[in-house]
Each structure stands twice: as C-alpha cells, then as structure tokens.
Amino acid sequence: MKQAVKLMSAIYEAFKATDASMIEINPLIVTGEGSLLALDAKMNFDDNALYRHPDIREMRDLTKRNPLEIEASKYSLNYIRLDGTIGCMVNGAGLAMATMDIIKIAGGEPANFLDVGGGANAEQIRNAFKILMSDKNVKAVFINIFGGILRCDILAEGVIAAVKELPSRCPS
C-alpha cells in the first residue's frame, strides 16, 4: 500500500508539473520481491501549455507523425489519416465517429478523422479542406457540420476559398 500511495502521488505531481492531459501506466506489476513496478507508460501533454515546457516540446518526434497531421496541428485542427477514400470534415468528435460509422454502413471507407471544432474560422476551414484534398486517396468529401456549433456561412466561406485555390481533381 505504501508503494502504491508513493507511486500515485508521484504520478499526480508529474501530471500537474507537466500540464499533462493523460498519464497511462500499463502494465503495472508486483515483482516476485513484492515491489510495485511500472513496466510501460505513456503521457500526452496539453498543446496549449507547451510554451511553458520547451524541454517537452523539444522531445516531440515529428518524423513519427503523418505530414498531414502535422499540417493540421498548425491550424488547431484534429486530423488522423485513415485508409479509406472518403474525406470527412466534421465538428465534434462524436459527430466525427457517427459520420465515419455512416460511411462504413453505406459500404465506404473514411479517409480521415478531421474535426474542425465549434470555434473554427473561415481560414481554418480553408486549410482543413486543403489538407483533405492534399490526400491523393480522397475521391469524395463528406462535410457533416452541426450548424448549432459552427456557423454555416463561415464553413461555406472557408470551403469556397479553398476550392478557388485548389486545382480541380474532377474528371473532364
């Protein structure tokens, strides 16, 4: 019990000190000698607090991330590349998951998870659409935006701006 209390206290202090958003220890074992030992751990950090932690920011290995995910993070967009052909732009993680489920039920495969959030501006939407279209696997785009969270005129302004800048990939 003393070891567990000491470990949990240290995890809590590390969580606060680093502005972590998640600390996961898996597995946590009891050795043959009765000691508590964390065999593996993962930490995520609040991107908005990284300015306070240049040492943590410097450890970031961008070579392990998809270039489109890196580009999306520059505009505060949540993007994850998937293997499908239908690009998805949504606002809200729940709506994103439901949209991807609908695509799969209809026999398609989502090409990404792209959540623009509720506070996106036209510039973020423009960049989000350009990121979607820069994926050569994307053959169609499904935009599913809840208008109660993001104004539809802002969405339209951003999409129109992006389409004007992008070369057409539609067949002649």
From first to last of its 172 residues, the chain has per-residue pLDDT tens of: 999 999 999 999 999 999 999 999 999 999 999 999 999 999 999 878 889 999 998 887 778 788 888 889 888 888 999 999 999 999 988 999 999 999 999 999 999 999 998 889 999 999 999 999 999 999 999 999 998 888 999 999 999 999 999 886 654 3
| Residue type, position 19, single letter | D
Q: What pLDDT sits at residue 172?
A: 39
Cα–Cα separations (whole angstroms), residue 121 to 62, 82, 112, 124, 148: 26, 25, 21, 5, 15
Residues 6+ apart with CB under 8 A from 51: 57
Q: What pLDDT sits at residue 155?
A: 92
- The first and second tokens of residue 82, run together, are 């998937």
Q: What pLDDT sits at residue 17?
A: 96
Torsion of CA 49, 56, 17, 93, to 10 degrees: 50
Torsion of CA 116, 118, 124, 129, to 10 degrees: 40
